[in-house]
């Protein structure tokens, strides 16, 4: 008894891994052995970091570390229960008030991660009688949230407002309708066409949800994200974002109306059935908002570097797709070649991860470059030098 199921499971594991290897899609973990700055030690090698979402360098910022240390002294290291039981330490209230003021919304709520925020928010708001319009390149957490909701999902071509309007016009009626988009797309580095989306949302009576994971702290004069950048903040119903990228720490959030936030507190399983964030994280997040709101210099430093790096890549002949943000794909095509390309970069002291299907479409495997405000100019120059050498050697340019 029990031998056959065990054997079936072992065979399943063995064959799946073998097939994954054969497809050139096998994944392994690397080991970061230093603070996550623009130069890091990975697997024993000192390398220049081009794979981090720590766009403003806040993950090792003294103000965040100080806030985290003070919070540990006052509250300890864990919240020890879910928020609806006794894990709702007062740092949550302070952070959520601060976040709502920052985003200019009535209220805000903080989740353990951005992934949890998306799946929980979408799945609790939408149901089988509802309809979701989702950009083809939306993040996996949005896709998973849509699946979990059991709503009908219509995927519109990436950033194609006209195609979306046709879809909305011809779709069978639904109880509630939601348009959902990344603000900055995490793999192509493109920007959502928010003015067009807000227009359609109003015209066809849909709600609009914008995922500002890669835009919070980076886009807009005050770092509030792409809705601020496009001056459409008042027209977005659900402002979603994360603390885990430019804000340097961990957690996700939703900002919006008081009623929306009360609904999530009551109905969102991903908030109710999980432990609250540790005090150090909550305090660091508040310090990060203070910093990004007042320090426009951080963003200026980032944009100067982004414009320099992307224009040089393009003039070297690399295909950077339609990237216009701090995320710059360098298309390499084949998954195995992509991983070899990435290994070569690593040997030359450049950390830039290869991205393969299913994260990106077949034929569009790539090296995903992310620029940081804290990159030294000579490190950017070195990155370009190595990329040029690799591009020639692998016949990409």
Ligand X SMILES: Cc1ncc(COP(=O)(O)O)c(C=O)c1O
For ligand X, give the closer residue by CB, 280 or 390: 280
For ligand X, give the closer residue by CB, 213 or 302: 213
Neighbour count for residue 349 (Cβ, 10 Å): 15
For ligand X, give the closer residue by CB, 38 or 270: 270
Using CB under 6 A as the binding rule, whether residue 211 contacts ligand X is answered as: yes
Closest CA to 324 of 306, 297, 300, 299: 306
Using CB under 6 A as the binding rule, whether residue 276 contacts ligand X is answered as: no
Query: Taking CB under 6 A as the criterion, which residues in 132-151 touch ligand X?
Result: 139, 141
Length of the chain as a residue count = 397
Sign for the CA dihedral angle at 292, 37, 48, 320 comes to: negative
Q: By beta-carbon distance, which residue lies closest to ligand X? A: 114
Tokens of 44: 């024993």
The SS3 call for residue 276 is: coil
The SS3 call for residue 33 is: coil
Residue 373 CB, nearest approach to ligand X (Å) = 19
Concerning whether 186 is annotated as a catalytic residue, the answer is yes
For ligand X, give the closer residue by CB, 64 or 213: 213
Tokens 């319009």 map to which residue? 133
Query: Taking CB under 6 A as the criterion, which residues in 363-382 touch ligand X?
Result: none
Concerning whether 245 is annotated as a catalytic residue, the answer is yes
Q: Tell me which DSSP letter residue 234 carries.
A: G
Q: Which of 158, 177, 229, 245 is catalytic?
A: 245
Binding mask 95-124 for ligand X (x = CB under 6 A): ------------------xxx--x------
The SS3 call for residue 157 is: coil
Helix 62-75 and helix 279-294, axial crossing angle in degrees, nearest 10: 150
For ligand X, give the closer residue by CB, 181 or 379: 181
Residue 141 CB, nearest approach to ligand X (Å) = 5
202 HSE (CA, 13 A, CB side): 9
Closest CA to 377 of 51, 38, 36: 38
Binding site for ligand X (CB under 6 A): 113-115, 118, 139, 141, 182, 186, 211, 213-214, 242, 244, 252
The residues that are catalytic are 186, 214, 245
């Amino acid at each position: 008894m029990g031998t056959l199921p065990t054997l079936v499971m072992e065979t399943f594991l063995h064959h799946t891994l073998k097939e994954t290897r054969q497809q050139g899609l096998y994944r392994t973990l690397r080991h970061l052995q230093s603070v996550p700055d623009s130069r890091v030690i990975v697997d024993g090698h000192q390398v220049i970091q081009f794979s981090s979402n720590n766009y403003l360098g806040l993950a090792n910022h003294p103000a965040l570390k100080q806030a985290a240390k003070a919070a540990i002294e006052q509250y300890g290291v864990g919240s020890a229960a879910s928020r609806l039981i006794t894990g709702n330490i007062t740092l949550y209230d302070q952070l959520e008030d601060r976040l709502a003021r920052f985003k200019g919304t009535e209220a805000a709520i903080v989740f353990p991660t951005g992934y949890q925020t998306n799946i929980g928010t979408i799945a609790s708001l939408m149901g089988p009688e509802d309809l979701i319009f989702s950009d083809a390149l939306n993040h996996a957490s949005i896709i998973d949230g849509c699946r979990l909701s059991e709503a009908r999902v219509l995927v519109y071509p990436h950033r194609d407002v006209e195609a979306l309007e046709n879809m909305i016009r011809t779709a069978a009626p639904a109880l509630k309708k939601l348009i959902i988009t990344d603000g900055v797309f995490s793999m192509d580095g493109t920007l959502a066409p928010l003015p067009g989306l807000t227009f359609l949302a109003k015209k066809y009576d849909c709600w609009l949800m914008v995922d500002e994971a890669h835009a919070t702290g980076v886009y807009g004069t005050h770092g509030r994200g792409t809705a601020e950048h496009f001056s459409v903040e008042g027209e977005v119903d659900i402002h979603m974002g994360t603390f885990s990228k430019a804000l340097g720490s961990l957690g996700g959030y939703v900002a919006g109306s008081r009623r929306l936030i009360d609904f999530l507190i009551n109905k969102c399983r991903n908030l109710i059935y999980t432990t609250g964030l540790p005090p150090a994280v909550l305090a660091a997040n508040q310090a990060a908002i203070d910093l990004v709101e007042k320090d426009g210099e951080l963003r200026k430093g980032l944009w100067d570097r982004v414009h320099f790096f992307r224009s040089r890549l393009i003039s070297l002949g690399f295909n950077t797709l339609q990237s216009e943000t701090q995320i710059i794909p360098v298309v390499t095509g084949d998954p195995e070649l992509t991983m070899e390309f990435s290994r070569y970069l690593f040997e030359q002291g450049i950390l830039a991860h290869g991205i393969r299907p299913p994260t990106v479409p077949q034929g569009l495997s790539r090296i995903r470059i992310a620029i940081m405000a804290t990159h030294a100019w000579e490190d950017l120059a070195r990155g370009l030098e190595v990329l040029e050498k690799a591009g020639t050697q692998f016949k990409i340019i």
